[in-house]
Structure 1
């Protein structure tokens, strides 16, 4: 079953449950800050495992103590879908355990 693009209002409503996440163009995005590089890298590894489990992958950038993610659904023409919001929710759920702020 193909992914169905969400309306801007649906996206904004659902982002209300994901503090720090925002709609940036045709993607949802969030940056996290960590105490050091090792913590940031460990978070990237955990996010990668979740992405493989969901078979849905974000653009992920690792800095010294930051990690930035942005995602949309290629199968939906680059629109934001429920798959993107599910990934964001899973990432948001693990972030506190990694010391993310």
Structure 2
């Protein structure tokens, strides 16, 4: 069964617990800044492992010292669901350990 889309109010309420994350169009998004490119690459690999564990994947972009995630749920018609917010929370929990801000 596909995940149920969340209302804009539900999304904004949950994003209150995820500093730096925001709703942009039909996705939640966050860019992390890291001290070095190597640290950014390490966070990217860690995020990829989390996504595989959850079987839920974002658009994940590695820059020189940045990592950007953009996520929504394709099987919910591209809407934001609990799956997206759960992924964001898992990433937020590990990002600081990589020096992200």
TM-score range (shorter-chain normalised) is over 0.9
* Structure 1 residue 27 displacement after superposition: 0.1
* Structure 1 residue 5 displacement after superposition: 0.0
Task: Give a deviation string over 1:17-40, Cα, whole Å, max 9, x none.
Answer: 000000000000000000100000
Superposition TM-score, scaled by structure 2 size: 0.99
| 1:87-98 map, 5 Å | 87-98=87-98
Structure 2: distance between partners of 1:25 and 1:43: 25
Task: Give a deviation string over 1:13-64, Cα, whole Å, max 9, x none.
Answer: 0000000000000000000000100000000000000000000000000000
SS, match of residue 6 in structure 2: coil
Matched pairs, number: 101
Structure 2: distance between partners of 1:40 and 1:2: 32
Map of 2:64 onto structure 1: 64
Task: Give a deviation string over 1:60-98, Cα, whole Å, max 9, x none.
Answer: 000000010000000000000000000000000001100
Map of 2:23 onto structure 1: 23
Cα RMSD of the aligned pairs, angstroms, is: 0.4
